Amino acid sequence: MKQELREMVDTDLDKIRYWRNHPSVNKYMCTQKHITVDDHIKWFNSVSKDSLHHVFIYEEDTKEIGFVHLKQRNEQTLAFEWGFYIDPKSEKGTGTRMLQFVIKKVFNELKGHKIFGEVLDFNQSSIRLHQRLGFKQEGILKEHHVIDNNYCDIICFGLLKNM
C-alpha cells in the first residue's frame, strides 16, 4: 500500500468540510457547530498563510481518507500540536496507519522534537489510540470545556522523539 501525506489545497475543502461536519466526527470536536463554506474558506486561508501551520491530506493508494493539522508551537520549538480525522466511511485501522505515518513524517522530515494533542474525556477511542501509539498522558484540564451544557475534561497527551 502506498501512503502519502500531501499538502491540502483549496480543491480539498468540500471533502474535508463534509468529513468535519459528519456527526461521527463532529461529536468529538471542541467546536461542534456546523462549519459553513465561508467559515471553512476563512480558516483555510488563515492557516495557509501561517508558516507554523501545516495542513495535510492523507492518502492510501491515491485515495483521500484523512486530514491532519500540525501546528508548530513557535519557530524555535519543534513541538507540533496535532488534530486529525478520517473519512467516516474508512475501514477500521485507518486512523492508526495514518497517525503512524504522520509520526514518522514529523520526527524524520519536519525534524520535530515532540507531538502533542488534546482529547475530550469521552472520546475513548482517541484516548486508546494515543496510548497505543506510545503517547504519555501529560495532564488533565479539569472541566475545561463545555459541550451540550456539560463540563468535560481535556486529556493532554505528548510523544517525544526519543520516547
For 20-61, the pLDDT digits (tens) are 999 888 778 877 788 999 999 999 999 999 999 999 999 999
Largest CA distance in the chain: 44
Alpha helix stretches (DSSP H) within the chain: 13-21, 23-26, 37-48, 94-104, 124-132
Q: What pairs with residue 80 in β-bridges? A: 72, 115
pLDDT tens, residue by residue, 68-106: 999 998 888 899 999 999 999 999 999 999 999 999 999
- pTM of the predicted model, to two decimals? 0.92
| Residue for grid cell 500531501 | 6
Compute CA distances 143 → 22, 63, 82, 131, 148, whole Å.
25, 39, 21, 22, 13
Domain around 24: 3-160
Please state the domain count of the chain.
1
58 within 8 A of 104, measured Cβ to Cβ: no
CATH classification at residue 71:
3.40.630.30
